[in-house]
Amino acid sequence: MRLQIFSHRKEYYPRMKAFIDTLDAEWDRDQVVLDLLTAIVFFNPNRPKLNYREIVKLQQYIYMYLLQRYLLLKHQSESEAQQKFCKFMDNLNELEALGDIKRKEKFWCHYLRFV
């Protein structure tokens, strides 16, 4: 993806570039990692208007645990697996922050159109 499409957004572009630069190659190469990360994002207990927040949170923890176990089996090193897991969680947190920025921009663009 060409990052120049985000260059006119002063806050978004540098954060998006930094996010893409810090992604581990494992995101692309390992379908199991990608599937588990997708499940972790999907079961986000912080979503608005969620009825069963605790159940969703538990489900997210289950997928996080499965990712940790998978990384441990794959890398055969607890420290390397934990390091990878922490990096993945940092990436997901940054991805959520980027989504928040995008939603705020969309809100303001929509709001300014009617003012």
Mean predicted confidence (pLDDT) in 98-104: 79
Q: Per the structure block, which two tokens stand in for 72?
A: 């441990």
Instruction: Please say if the pLDDT value at position 114 is more than 70.
Output: no
* pLDDT of res. 15: 79
- Output the CA–CA distances (angstroms, integers) from residue 38 to 9, 34, 75, in the order listed: 27, 6, 21
Cα–Cα nearest to 30, from 83, 58, 67, 5: 67
Instruction: Please state, rounded to an integer, the average pLDDT across all residues of the chain.
Output: 83
Check: pTM over 0.85? Answer yes or no: no
CATH number at residue 42: 1.10.565.10
**Cα 18 to Cα 109: distance, rounded to the nearest angstrom:** 25
Number of domains making up the chain: 1
* pLDDT of res. 4: 53
Q: Residue 99: give the domain boundaries.
A: 3-114
Mean predicted confidence (pLDDT) in 39-54: 94
User: How would residue 106 be classed by pLDDT, with cut points 50, 70 and 90?
Assistant: low
